[in-house]
Structure 1
């Protein structure tokens, strides 16, 4: 474990203490603090030892090691008694403050007798009285002991709450939490929430607040109908306490909240994220709280019939929900009994039982953008055949009825497959299970045929279900099926299988190829399909129709690739052949397929109105003649066409209807993933981003379930960015936390650039959520990783630039300069003029604003680099999407010099910026930028340089211009400034 080097002087030790104070609480910080105490003891300066012991006690307290905290404090108290002069006012304050830490630590340990805890409170009272300190903090601890043991707290509460606060009282946020919990214990949810409001609203906070209060307030919020508020606070509150040993009880209450709101799957996900708490929490009281919350969740999952699901428990073994629940129950029961034995009450057992006996408060509360059920935690069960379609247009209305005999099942599967009916898949799945069983006996029935034919059927079905990118697998399976069909004496089915293989091989040949090669591959495939069609005799109508359909498909793919007008007529000719043949033999599926391909061809050639006309005619036919299962796909195409025609409202209606109808068919029968994605696009065009977000996440989750993980994560990445754009910061973070915890992501199996994009969006969300420390840490890590992206220096430039800005916000301008230099080096390889210029100017502003005159040289260095970037951009004719780089740079020179007190230089820079901008005209969008530049020049000139007359002349001229343009909003700040200057003149 990495620890601090041994300090060689007291100055080095103090520096090491400061560095350790910046570390997060946990083993590294605690071990380092222990080593620093050892180092301090070697110096003959008691003040150094006092500081080291204070740091160590803090590490123990917030690292959930209550057994060790009182021991350290005893040493501090001895030093105080022996050498009080070592303790200045600040150290003395810290010492008396930490009497409360010891009282809290003793309550957490059931082995500490009740008499010892009361003796400690007496010691605290005596010390406070002797030091002439107010006793409100003592009475606060006396109340907390009474609440802990389950005694009547009425008097203890009044003795504490009625007293005036002192300098040593707990912070406002902590006291608010204790008062609210008192009312909560009395059953008054409304009063508790009123008391809690300043903390829940973020007006009062501290080290553990508002996260602690949030965890207690979740259930009262639900019971009083404030579900949206509970959801919002769960997301923010959980993130503040996750994986934190000193807040394990809070984590337990979030697990309980998930269990009582129909979010058991999320609860299991959070439990897995916090599995280290089973071993890292050294506080028995916190452990009891955590285990009880975990048991509420595990019992709920078990009661829903999912006790066999995997669950994350103590390290060293694999757990199921039922196994872990039993282990948690045993450990928590034992802890509750130990506390009650110590306290002489049944309070902890009673409280625990009350939590375990709570009924769910809601059937379902959508907590995150990624809504998952317990069925999603494990692989999906075997497909269940849905009820038969009720539409008169659906052939074989009894298609879903389970055949009573094996021959009937085989014949039913083949009949449905010939129709292209989606229920065929369930039949093949059932047959696959039966045929692969050891005791399978194939029917001796001429109508069924030999076993080799059934094996060919199953291979063909398996090949048809491969994912789009698995062309090699599909081709091999189709060829194997073709060979078996030939062995079975089924030349028609063999020809169809060979044709499918040829088409898959063509798709495989086009991967990574240029367009001419792709077009040639599909031309070859078409020739192969024509030859198979012509050379195979005795084809059944449905087989011949499938071959004609594949012939048309190959030419459609060729046109899609080449966009060559010469390829249009041959495709329409093939479609005419298919349509004529299908109509002659009344093959409904292929009639529909031909018309659908015709509409798609019109769309590919840019004739969207003609495509819509074709689709409308097809929809009329499908509604009257069928097949009904083609309706969702056809409506989906019409929705996409309407998007192309910029009729988002019509597109939304078509796509919504397609989704509604898709629910009548098996999951894989309709591409619902695309329907949800297209609906998201329609919603964005209609200005309904929240609805779009729901469709994006639904599309992604469906892709994930089907094994299309890369596509799913890409869609989820878009959803995360959209939620961030909508300022749903906690939703964005929760979604990304869930995705980054997926096993394949954690194991490094997903594309590293895609994972980096997810992490980058999360880092930006953390920044937007004002968690600067976490955001900076993630950006620094991403900048280090992206430095090795030799094939993509532009992305590294962007990430390093953003990292530099965050380091600047943290005041770490040394590291910010290093990151900016990395960004500039990457920018030299792949220019990102506007982004890099923005970052450099922002760094200059931050350094000048934070450091004043001392920061001016560093700020001007950043601006000098931004000037070089602007020169490069001008030389290549680059035009920024926002402000021009030159005017923005001049304005920033003005602002930076103003922050540093160099007002003459600031005014000169602002005048240059105004000259570059020029006065705004009626049609220009830069009026706001120009007005802001005038305002800042007026402030510098009129207030800081004390030249009100020329400043007012400047402002009045600008106001005249803005008024003439009707830009009243931009004029308002200038009017306010001018009034101030006149009042002060």
Structure 2
């Protein structure tokens, strides 16, 4: 089925060829190129057919289809032999250039005999000599064949490398790579890297470079100790080659790099992203390279004991690491053997073996902002808790284990969780036999205990409805066991969990406060109606009562709700003191600290928490210390003492390491530390804490919170100029199964994609950035509840389309933004967008683009009028001043110099002359400079221009704005020189 209308004229054919040339390499481009060759054959003219065949050969070459490229070239060569006059200088150059493409294609096919490869090189040499072309390109191909077979490489290299380059030589970047690979094969990493430097530094590039050189340079960089450079090049280099069949060998080397740097989990992630390459790579040589890199990764994962992990492989079945490794090994061994049989050497088997035999070069290199281990990607793998200095060994005896769990639970000791986890496993077994021991109690009591622990875990994850149901179920079982005190405690917990279920009403805060008031009243009744409570049970009931009132205060922020909390806290404090319940006493004091903090009395809160810390250090419980330190750190943040906050939070993290991972919310500690670091001007440290916080939240199951934190980390990394880090992090997040399946909040995913699109733009990948922005603009158009976001996204999209020269599409998208803006104004963003589009169109199209540029400025003028009427104050320069300045620039671009000068005079009048402390001195100086250029150079009136510039320099100098005078002084000197 045709992919596009069949061209009816040669003009339509050339237009279709141009459009196809803008497509990425792949099946769509290749199929279209095939159709265009069919279309070209309908015309009686040979030239259109030559152009179509050249496009088709390019599609085959860069679409990794080497079997078809020589066939197309044979047709071109026949046309050249039959009608040489059809080939102008440009077409003739392209034809002779592509002899090398055919040589590369034939080398990549093991079924092509070695004699045929040599015969083709002879044909190339004869053709070059007949056409009086230099033979350096021929010797380059002869060397590449020698390197491929592994025979006579030194002589072939010398014959090639010593010759002078010609117009048909491979580009500088490709030849640099070949030279570097020669030194690399000889074992000289340093010389190879020196040779590669112009390509790695971005000074030389082409269609295939620097992606190819980067992939080869990664391991020598590691071996020579340049780990930071290797990391940087991996991030940028991988992104430029992923999911592309023609760069599958490069993908394989990036996977190998992950395997040899302790980044096996990232390697599996990248493998999943490139799973299509298993079926799309048609070049046997490229496939051998790719599969060997895949096998290096899978071999490493299996050696680390994770052979049963899922792995992305060939379509049609589910793979484990071990299963896929066996499949890949068989296929790659066969390919290497076929090449060696064709070449009569063992070069490919030997090279493959050398890659597979390499030992890891580093134990761990933090490649991305999301470092993950294989344990993190194991399905349903529990998070291992750090070893705890104070943790007791879980008893082997079942009765001991049950009694130990209950004792620890009464104390609130964190080691209780490990005991309950062990008991849950034992009780779920088919052969479980409950101890016949009065001290242990009946099986129904244990089931209730386990439900209570499960309910507590659900509450910690904010799954309040589940927690409430589990507590109610536990209460019923405790009733069956004849334990009214336990049942009352479980029902009190259910009351609190129910009150915390988020309300969807418009007055959600009021509704929740009322629910907490009711829950407290019910707890008081429950307390009064339950006789015979043990001290630990009564203390817990009192703690729940105080907590309910504390949450009500946190929800309402009402002054009248402060005293009731403190009153309940005093009751709890007195009871815990009387019965020597250290954990509940500490809990009471923490509640008091929180109450002071919520009510705004931070100094009182700090005084209370300092006393609590002294008590905890002296009398315990020690496991409350990390959380208390963390709270003190948050209080210091509130008091704007970031240094003290950093010290407290760091100490909290240090103390938390002594206890099981779920004892303290370390994710919160890292998040608060990130805030402290930002206040201290340490953004890189803040970024590390943000990513650690996010990953801990992810492991706890708080996926929305985790992705929000990661979103903040991505934005911070972009703000820091770490563009590739930002993109790699977001790529990893967007590849998460629940994101790909559409299960995560769509607006949060859109925010991640938006940040990624901005990072791509910052990284100058305009094509990819524009594609993402266009997709986001289309999706956000349906956000009827959030037109402001659509206006913002559409405005940014329009600017990128303008930067790509697609002003027609930019106009369409900006019109959408204006419609959304009418519903939810975004004055500054829309004004900035419209002015930038006007500048771009005038700058690129000159007078031809003036009408459309002025239409953009007219829209910006209406936005400025609306903003003024709404008394909106711009965060940057005023919209009116910015608009006048842009009128000046636009008119200057299209040679309307009088209008440009008048607009700039208006902008200067709106700005007013700067003062000593004004922050618009730079803007004023730039406006004066542009006015001076228009007046003195384009209008050829240097005298008034110099008067303007000299007055401005004097004014700025007198005010101390000397830096702003530099451009004005330079322009004035130029005008004087030209007089």
Mark yes or no: TM-score above 0.5. yes
User: Kindly tell me: are residues 54 and 384 of structure 1, through their superposed partners in 2, closer, same or farther at Cα, counting changes over 3 Å?
Assistant: closer
Cα distance in 2 for partners of 1:141, 1:649 equals 64
* 1:439 and 2:431 correspond: yes
Matching residue of 1:394: none
Q: CA RMSD in A?
A: 1.1
Once the two structures are TM-superposed, the CA of residue 384 in structure 1 deviates from its matched residue by 6.0
> Which residue of 1 is the match for residue 462 of structure 2?
469
Cα distance in 1 for partners of 2:693, 2:489 equals: 32
Name the residue aligned to 1:322: 322
Q: Check conservation: 1:510, 1:521, Cα contact below 8 A.
A: no
Q: 2:481 maps to what in 1?
A: 488
TM-score (norm 1): 0.98
Q: Tell me if structure 2 keeps the 8 A contact 1:2–1:28.
A: no
- 2:71 alignment partner, SS class: helix
| 1:450 pairs with one of 427, 437, 442 | 442
- Counterpart selection for 1:659 from 653, 673, 687: 653
The match for 1:478 is: 471
* Aligned with residue 843 of structure 2, among 836, 842, 849: 849
Instruction: State whether structure 2 residue 881 is matched by structure 1 residue 887.
Output: yes
Aligned to 2:90: 90
1:819 to 813, 819, 824: 813
Deviation at 1:382, TM superposition (A): 4.9
Shift of 1:820: 1.1
- Check conservation: 1:955, 1:974, Cα contact below 8 A: yes
Give the deviation of 1:12 after TM superposition.
Answer: 1.1
Partner SS, residue 955 of structure 1: helix
What CA deviation, in whole Å up to 9, does each residue of 1:2-27 have, x standing for no partner? Answer: 71211111111111111111111001
Give the aligned partner of residue 208 of structure 1: 208
Match of 1:25 in 2: 25
Q: Conserved in 1, the CA contact under 8 Å of 2:387 and 2:660?
A: no
Match of 1:175 in 2: 175
Structure 1 position 859 matched with structure 2 position 846: no
8 Å contact from structure 2 (residues 667, 697) kept in 1: yes
1:9-158 aligned within 5 A: 9-158=9-158
What residue is the counterpart of 2:550 in the other structure? 556
In structure 1, the partner of 2:389 is 389
Q: Deviations over 1:201-234 (max 9, x none)?
A: 0011111111110000000100110000000000
**Other-structure match for 1:643:** 637
Native 8 Å contact 1:139 1:159 kept in 2: yes
In the alignment, what sits opposite 1:393? none
Q: Residue in 2 aligned with 1:354?
A: 354
The answer on 1:577 being equivalent to 2:571 is yes
After TM superposition, the structure 1 = structure 2 runs for residues 242-391 of structure 1, keeping only pairs within 5 Å, are 242-379=242-379, 381-382=381-382, 387=387, 389-390=389-390
Q: How many angstroms does 1:856 deviate by?
A: 1.3
Identify if the C-alpha distance between structure 1 residues 387 and 717 changes in structure 2 by more than 3 Å, giving closer, same or farther.
Answer: closer
CA distance change for structure 1 residues 253 and 386 in 2, over 3 Å: closer, same or farther? closer
What's the CA shift string for 1:120-145, capped at 9, x where partnerless? Answer: 00100111111111111111101100
Q: Which residue does 2:681 correspond to in 1?
A: 687
Aligned residue for 2:345, secondary structure, equals: coil
Match of 2:628 in 1: 634
Are 1:387 and 1:400, in contact at CA under 8 Å, matched by a contact in 2?
no
Secondary structure at the aligned position of 1:669 is classed as coil
Aligned partners of 1:385 and 1:426 also within 8 Å? no
Within 2, Cα distance between the matches of 1:173 and 1:310? 39
SS of the equivalent of 1:816 reads helix
Query: Which secondary structure state, in structure 1, belongs to the residue aligned with residue 369 of structure 2?
Result: coil
Counterparts of 1:573-652 in structure 2, within 5 Å, are 573-652=567-646
Offset at residue 509 of structure 1 (A): 6.2
- From the superposition, tell whether residues 756 and 2 of structure 1 become closer, same or farther in structure 2 (CA, over 3 Å): farther
Select 1:748's aligned residue among 732, 742, 747: 742
Contact 1:336/1:348 (CA < 8 Å) preserved in 2?
A: yes
User: Which residue among 920, 930, 946 is the counterpart of 1:926?
Assistant: 920
Paired residues of 1:139 and 1:160 also in contact (CA < 8 A)? yes
Paired residues of 2:190 and 2:224 also in contact (CA < 8 A): yes
The separation in 1 between residues aligned to 2:185 and 2:652, in whole angstroms, is: 52
Aligned-partner Cα distance in 2 for 1:153–1:434: 67
Offset of 1:661 from its aligned partner? 1.1
Contact 1:848/1:859, CA 8 A, preserved across alignment = yes
Among residues 498, 505, 508, which one is paired with 2:501 in the alignment? 508
Contact 2:199–2:205 (CA under 8 A) maintained in structure 1:
yes
For 1:387 and 1:79, how far apart are their aligned partners in 2?
A: 76
Q: Provide the rounded CA distance (Å) in 1 between the counterparts of 2:861 and 2:383.
A: 63
Aligned-pair distance for 1:664? 1.3
Contact 1:934-1:954 at 8 Å conserved across structures: yes
- After superposition, where does 1:516-555 map in structure 2 within 5 Å? 516-555=510-549
2-structure distance, mates of 1:168, 1:384: 60
Residue in structure 2 matched with residue 712 of structure 1 by the alignment: 706
- Kindly provide the CA deviation profile for residues 65-84 of structure 1, in whole angstroms up to 9, marking residues without a partner as x: 00000000000000010111
Task: Supply the distance in 1 between the matched residues of 2:406 and 2:832 (Cα, whole angstroms).
Answer: 64
- 3-state SS of paired residue (2:790): helix
Q: Could you tell me how far apart the structure 2 residues matched to 1:882 and 1:101 are?
A: 54
Residues of 1 paired with 2:693 and 2:941: CA distance? 62
- 1:682-737 CA-partner distances (Å, limit 9, x unpaired): 01001111111111111111111111111111111100000000010000000000
CA contact (8 A) 1:384 1:426 kept: no
* 8 A Cα contact 1:797 1:822, kept in partner: yes
Deviations 1:625-678 (A, max 9, x none): 111110110000000000011111110111011111111111111111111100
- Residue 396 (structure 1) aligns with: none
Q: Distance in 1 between matches of 2:763 and 2:2?
A: 31
Does structure 1 residue 497 correspond to structure 2 residue 480?
no
CA distance in 2: counterparts of 1:514 and 1:320, whole angstroms: 48
Q: Secondary structure at the match of 1:802?
A: helix
Q: Deviations over 1:955-983 (max 9, x none)?
A: 01101110011101101110111111111
SS in 1 for 2:209: coil
* Structure 1 unaligned spans of 5+: 391-398
Return the offset for 1:904: 0.9
Q: Normalising by structure 2, report the TM-score.
A: 0.99
Per the TM alignment, residue 383 of structure 1 is displaced from its structure 2 partner at its CA by: 6.6
Q: Is the 8 A contact 2:643 2:676 kept in 1?
A: yes
* Structure-2 residue corresponding to 1:696: 690
Query: Structure 2 vs 1, CA of residues 440 and 383 (structure 1 numbering), >3 Å: closer, same or farther?
Result: farther
Superposed displacement of residue 534, structure 1: 0.9
How many residues were matched structurally?
A: 977
Query: What CA distance in whole angstroms lies between the structure 2 residues aligned with 1:223 and 1:952?
Result: 60
Q: 1:979 to 1:385 in 2, by over 3 A?
A: closer
What's the offset of the Cα at 1:624?
1.3
Deviations 1:264-302 (A, max 9, x none): 000000001001111100000000000000111111001
Q: 2:721 aligns with which of 720, 727, 741?
A: 727
Task: Note if contact 1:80-1:87 (Cα within 8 Å) is conserved in structure 2.
Answer: yes
Structure-2 separation of matches of 1:335 and 1:510? 63
Which of 398, 406, 414 is equivalent to 1:406?
Answer: 398
Matched residue, 2:199: 199
Relative distance call for 1:105 and 1:618 in structure 2 (3 A) is same
